[in-house]
């Protein structure tokens, strides 16, 4: 259930290849069967991925011109992932097709820029900020039973609240095999480490309380809170991260359609004039974000 949020890759080097020297025959790869020139390499990249890369680069340039990113927030997230995944972090990045920690850090920067754009103009109350901060400084220990069928979930909730052993029910019925083997235990977690529906309900419960079935993309959860405590890691003061939290909360209030429209409006307002002939029409159509959905994380899911 705990997760690593991965974001879209922003390729930064392709267009720079066009600024090569006047020598079209500059060789970038030599083989016994022939050579590859820089110009040939650029033309191939341009033909296979040029439009997608150009869209990403343009959007990144626009976002960087309008919004600022808190570099300490990026470093905080990087440290969280390093701590959570330890020696496996680099391998996990490779499995996701991300070349290095530096590349992943750049992706986080782009995610935060988009978050700032989506949050622009959205109202967030001080109470909402304080609630989220409380989740950052306090963690919950919980167990759960996960099933696909709502009727079964209601039945198991009744059985658990009527005194049947929660761990035994989890071992027998839960489809989350990892936690089922531990009597349903998912251990301790804090803000952002569980899917939102699960996290919201867990923080509402008192120690020893069992929730009615809670639906998420994974199915129906019956949640049993067994402990809560302050987190062991250092957390910045509320004053230091208030703006960051405001932005994060605001972005969750923007649905997919609104997110697309906000990005679209940013592109409309930027007076984009593409100088590469093959791509002059890249942003000349009704929806300049068409095709970006797969390349960019427009904050549809901030967390899972």
Chunked mean pLDDT (size 10), the chain, 304 residues: 39 42 72 90 87 88 88 82 84 86 88 87 93 95 97 97 97 95 96 93 97 96 97 88 87 84 87 86 63 50 44
Rounded to an integer, what is the distance from CA 104 to the centroid of its chain? 11
Burial class (CB in 10 A: 0-12, 13-18, 19+), 264: middle
Name residue 138's beta-bridge partners: 230
Q: Please, what sign has the CA dihedral across residues 96, 288, 114, 214?
A: negative
Q: Where are the domains of the chain?
A: 15-122+254-279, 129-230
Helical axes 101-119 vs 38-66, angle rounded to 10°? 40
pLDDT at 287: 52
Q: Please, what sign has the CA dihedral across residues 135, 301, 114, 296?
A: positive
pLDDT at 68: 85
pLDDT at 295: 52
pLDDT at 9: 39
Cα gap 182→76, rounded to integer Å: 30
CATH of 129-230, one of 3.90.1170.50, 3.10.50.40, 3.90.1150.10, 3.30.70.20: 3.10.50.40
């Amino acid at each position: 259930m705990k997760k690593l949020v991965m974001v879209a890759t922003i390729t930064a080097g392709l267009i720079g290849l066009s600024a090569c020297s006047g020598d079209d025959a500059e060789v970038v790869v030599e083989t016994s069967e022939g050579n590859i020139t820089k110009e040939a390499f650029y033309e191939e990249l341009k033909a296979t991925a040029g439009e997608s890369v150009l869209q990403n680069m343009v959007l990144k340039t626009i976002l960087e011109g309008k919004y600022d990113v808190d570099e300490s927030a990026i470093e905080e997230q990087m440290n969280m992932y390093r701590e959570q995944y330890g020696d496996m972090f680099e391998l996990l990045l490779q499995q996701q097709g991300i070349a290095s920690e530096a590349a992943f850090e750049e992706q986080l920067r782009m995610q935060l820029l988009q978050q700032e754009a989506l949050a622009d103009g959205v109202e967030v109350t001080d109470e909402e900020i304080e609630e989220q901060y409380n989740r950052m400084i306090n963690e919950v220990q919980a167990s759960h039973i996960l099933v696909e069928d709502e009727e079964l979930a209601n039945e198991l909730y009744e059985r658990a609240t009527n005194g049947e052993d929660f761990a035994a029910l989890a071992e027998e019925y839960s489809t989350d095999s990892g936690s089922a083997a531990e009597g349903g235990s998912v251990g301790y977690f804090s803000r952002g480490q569980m899917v939102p529906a699960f996290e919201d309900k867990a923080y509402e419960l008192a120690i020893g309380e069992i929730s009615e079935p809670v639906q998420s993309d994974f199915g129906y959860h019956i949640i049993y809170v067994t402990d809560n405590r302050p987190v062991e890691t250092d957390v910045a003061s509320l004053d230091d991260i208030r703006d960051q939290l405001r932005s994060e909360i605001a972005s969750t209030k923007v649905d997919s359609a609104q997110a697309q429209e906000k990005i679209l409006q940013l592109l409309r307002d930027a007076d984009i004039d593409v100088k590469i002939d093959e791509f002059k029409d890249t942003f000349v159509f009704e929806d300049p974000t068409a095709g970006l959905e797969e390349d960019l994380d427009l904050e549809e899911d901030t967390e899972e």
